[in-house]
Structure formats: C-alpha cells, structure tokens
Amino acid sequence: MKQERVTLSKKELDRVKVISMLCNGSMRNSEAAAKLGICVRQIIRLKQKYAALGDAAMIHGNRNRQPKHTIEAEVRHLVLRLFQEKYPDFNFSHFTDMLNDAEGVKISRASVVRILTAAGIKSKKHTRRRAKLHRGRPRKEAAGMLWQTDATPFEWFGKGNGYYALHAYIDDATGIVTGAFFTEHECMRGYVEALKRGSKKYGLPMEIYSDRHAIFRTSMKLTEEEDAEGKRPLSDFGKGLAELGIGQIYAKSPEAKGRVERLWETLQDRLTAEMRLLGITDIDEANKALPKFIARHNKKFAVKPKQKSVYVPLPEGIDLDLLFAHRDTRKTDHGGAVSYKGSMYAPSAAVGNELAGRNVEVRETFEGKLYYAAGRQFIELTKIEKPERKSAPNAAKQPADPSRKAHKPAANHPWRRRALTTKSIKDVIPSNPAAS
C-alpha cells in the first residue's frame, strides 16, 4: 500500500522532535511542556496521538478546510465590480457604508480592504497624516454650548463644474452637523439659511465660534457714548445673533476651530461622491438632498456628550429673515416715506404722524423686501413714484448773431458813477500830502 506523503511546517517539525524524545523516555512531560510552551495535559494528548498516527498527528486539524466565515467568490466578484463600475471615487470606508446601506451587501470594512487590496486597488485616502503640532481643545460638556461655523468653496459637482460655497454649523460637544446650505459664494444668506435649519431642528446654541470674516464682525468705530456704555460694533449678522441671545467668539487661526475644518475634509470626500452618484449638478438639488446626507453623516460620526443638552427652543413668531436682514438708517419725510437706493418707499399701512420726519431703521431681506423696524414690529414698505418738480420749460436758445456787437454802457452810466467819483477825488487830493 502506497503511504501518503505528509508535509510539515517548522513548528510541526519541532513538535515531532520533542514528542519523539518524550516517547523514547529521554524527556519528561514537564520538560516537553516547557519546551513547546503548552500545558502538561496537552503534551499527554499529543503523545497518545503521536503513538497512533505518527508524524501526521502534529498536523493541525483545520488544514485544507474551508472556514465557515469565508466570503464566497460571488460576493468577492460583486464587491470588486461595484467598486470599479459604480463607486470608483469612494474611499474604502465610504464604499463599505454604501455596500451595507444601499447595495444590501453585509460585509465589514476589513474584508472590503482585503478584497480590493488583493486586486491592486489603493484607497484614495491611502496617505499618512502628518503629526499634529498643536494640542487639541477638549470638547464642550453638553450639546448646544458651542457651534463652530465656516464656509468653504469647492468643486462640489465635479471638476470643471465650477466652485460653490457650502456653509455649515457643527456642534462642538457631539460632532453633529446641525445645519448646512449651498450658495454661489460665501455670504450672509448661506450662514442664515444653515442656522435656520439647525435652530428649527435642535434649538438655539449658547455661542457661535467663527473666523474673523466681515460677515461676523465689523470694523466700524463706535461713538463716544457707545464706547462709554461698553458696547462693541456688530455686523448685521452679529446684531441678529445678539437679539437671539447667542454669543460670538472669533477664532484667530483655523486650528482654533479645528472640528469644522476637519469636517470639510470628510464632506469634500464623501459628499461629492454621493452627489455624483445621484446625478446632482446644481445648488437647488444639492440643498434638497443635504438633509438626508447630513443625517447619515451624523449617525456615523456623532459622539455622546457628557451632559444633557442645553439648547434653547426657537421662540415662536420670530422671523429669522427679518432678524438677519440688512439694516440701515433713513430719515422719513412729512408723509413717512424714505429714500432708499435711489427710489422712494412708503409704508403699506397707515402709521400716523409718529414716523414723520424721524430717523428710522430700514431692513432689507434677502428677497429684496423693505420694512420699517419698530421694536418687534415690522411695517412693510412699497415702492412709490418720485414727485416731479414743476418748472417752466426752458426756452430754446437762439444762436448768437455774429454781426451784433456787444453793448457798451455810456460814460455817465450809473454803473460807472462810482468809478468816476473815485477818480475825481484822487485828482484833487494828492496821494502823498507831505510832498506838497
């Protein structure tokens, strides 16, 4: 009978040597256990198995067996095909999320990495990060204590499709993106719309941490009275936050508000890929799709805060469009109308004489509507025609007659009397009396 050939590894060969010495009586059980690093009971079992099967007893029982948790070849091919055909611009972690959520393929990130790496594919995030050179600031204890905000221009709809600005707020304690909004450029409207989305869903934060952009702070100087009262100059956005009871903190470096800066790296990687997958190519469609994407993002990256939320509910009846409108001061005429950007505007409702000839605050919303602001009351203004001044029509000027000579007054004309009188006096009275 032909004997089956057995191939042993180095570890198994070492075991054969020790167990054979044990069986020959040249080594004790305790010495063999110490040599192989296993217990005495295991040595006894190996000795009995070696006596029955010989060298083959040292081969592990799972050799050449298919593990129960092995990923099937069909799943491996499906993962590789989906990545190459549908998700080539996704990193490995993001691709794993899409497999589990959108494609119905339940698989771990480690398995995805093994499958794609074996095919020679590297993740787009396959770069070693530089070591941090600054100490990270600890998170706030409760949600709603601090929101970090910023905006970034980026080619969100693919290379060559133009740069657009995404405005966002992120809660410092939880890492939750509370609100986000797209506009063509970084502007006050983008921050206001993102704030509206966040405040309606979560509430109002205690403070907002931003950079030193002119949207958040102004270089306008205060009057002596305002300076004596301890006031500080506020932008239109800052005035709106102050009326809501929200404080402002200005960062002196991007690292100071590192959570929102780190957010851009994630969104520029994940959001652009998902919008390409959905075929989104303009701002309106992107703003409609943002809430669903942000919800998935928060579910994956949010952390649990140490304390309970301190959010303040948004008061009822507050119009955020009017609160964050552009503010200016104008003086009304006797009828309560004001001049604004070259046009006349009058209140749409009767207001009486209390607004006649007074300095009033005029607010212009993002839609271009104008309002009087009187405390918490707002009166809409409507455009009226400017009154035309009545004046006599200018007579058509006739061209001058070249043959006509200019009129020359006579020598005794009243216009010349003073000059003649002065000359006659000088003739009578000499200029230097001492000479006479």
Q: What is the pLDDT of residues 360-374, one digit of tens each?
A: 899 999 999 999 887
Q: What confidence tens digit (pLDDT) does each residue in 178-218 have?
A: 999 999 999 999 999 999 999 999 999 999 999 999 999 88
The answer to whether position 77 is within a domain reads yes
* Strand, helix or coil for residue 152: strand
Residue 61: pLDDT above 50?
A: yes
Locus of tokens 């060298």 = 55
The answer to whether position 342 is within a domain reads yes
Contacts of 348 (CB under 8 A, 6+ apart): 379, 380, 381, 382
Locus of tokens 């080539």 = 88
Residues in the chain, total: 436
Please check whether residues 155 and 284 belong to one and the same domain: yes
Please check whether residues 192 and 274 belong to one and the same domain: yes
* Strand, helix or coil for residue 18: helix
How far, in Å, CA of 247 to CA of 191, rounded? Answer: 15
Please check whether residues 79 and 51 belong to one and the same domain: no
Please check whether residue 213 is in contact with residue 257, taking contact to mean a CB–CB distance below 8 angstroms: no
Please check whether residues 98 and 197 belong to one and the same domain: no
Please give the helix or strand (H or E) that residue 329 lies within, else none. Answer: strand 326-331
What average pLDDT score do residues 221-239 get?
A: 73
Least confident of 62-66, 183-187, 224-228, 275-279: 224-228
H helices present in 37-166, as ranges: 40-53, 73-85, 92-101, 109-118
* Strand, helix or coil for residue 362: strand
Please check whether residues 81 and 53 belong to one and the same domain: no
Please check whether residues 20 and 160 belong to one and the same domain: no
H helices present in 309-382, as ranges: 320-323
Please check whether residues 98 and 170 belong to one and the same domain: no
Q: Provide the b/e sequence for 125-149 (b: ≥16 CB within 10 Å).
A: eeeeeeeeeeeeeebbebbbbbbbb
Please check whether residues 110 and 213 belong to one and the same domain: no
CA atoms within 13 A on the CB side of 69: 4
| Percent residues over pLDDT 90 in the chain | 47
Please check whether residue 166 is in contact with residue 154, taking contact to mean a CB–CB distance below 8 angstroms: yes
Q: Which of 268, 301, 334 is the last residue of a domain?
A: 301
pLDDT band for position 4 (cuts 50, 70, 90): low
Please check whether residues 100 and 207 belong to one and the same domain: no
The answer to whether position 364 is within a domain reads yes
Please check whether residue 168 is in contact with residue 151, taking contact to mean a CB–CB distance below 8 angstroms: yes
Residue 380: pLDDT above 50?
A: yes
Q: Which residue has the higher pLDDT, 317 or 293?
A: 293
Note the pLDDT of residue 396: 56
Residue 10: pLDDT above 90?
A: no
The answer to whether position 130 is within a domain reads no
Please check whether residues 167 and 296 belong to one and the same domain: yes
The answer to whether position 204 is within a domain reads yes
The answer to whether position 417 is within a domain reads no
How far, in Å, CA of 232 to CA of 209, rounded? Answer: 17
Q: Provide the b/e sequence for 264-273 (b: ≥16 CB within 10 Å).
A: beebebbbbb
Q: Residue 312 corresponds to which tokens in the numbers above?
A: 């303040």
Whether the full predicted model's pTM is greater than 0.85, yes or no, is no
The answer to whether position 125 is within a domain reads no
Residue 308: pLDDT above 70?
A: yes
The answer to whether position 47 is within a domain reads yes
**DSSP-derived secondary structure for 232-246:** ----HHHHHHHHHT-
The CA–CA distances, whole Å, from 335 to 232, 348, 355, 364, 382 equal 34, 12, 8, 20, 13
Q: Residue 293 corresponds to which tokens in the numbers above?
A: 């994407």
Average pLDDT across the chain, whole number: 84
Please check whether residues 237 and 271 belong to one and the same domain: yes
In this structure, what is the dihedral angle of CA atoms 55, 56, 57, 59, given to the nearest 10 degrees? Answer: 110
Residue 47's nearest CA partner among 71, 22, 30 is: 22
What average pLDDT score do residues 228-255 get?
A: 86
Please check whether residue 95 is in contact with residue 108, taking contact to mean a CB–CB distance below 8 angstroms: no
Please check whether residues 90 and 150 belong to one and the same domain: no
Number of domains in the chain: 4
How far, in Å, CA of 97 to CA of 270, rounded? Answer: 11
H helices present in 135-235, as ranges: 188-201, 224-228
Q: What confidence tens digit (pLDDT) does each residue in 125-156 have?
A: 665 566 555 667 789 999 999 999 999 999 99
Cα dihedral 71, 76, 79, 83 sign: positive
Residues of the domain holding 34: 10-58
Note the pLDDT of residue 350: 67
Locus of tokens 């809501």 = 244
- Rounded to 5°, angle at Cα 195 from 162 and 159: 15
Note the pLDDT of residue 436: 43
* Strand, helix or coil for residue 48: helix
Note the pLDDT of residue 419: 57
Identify residue 297 by its one-letter amino acid code: H
Radius of gyration of the chain (CA): 43
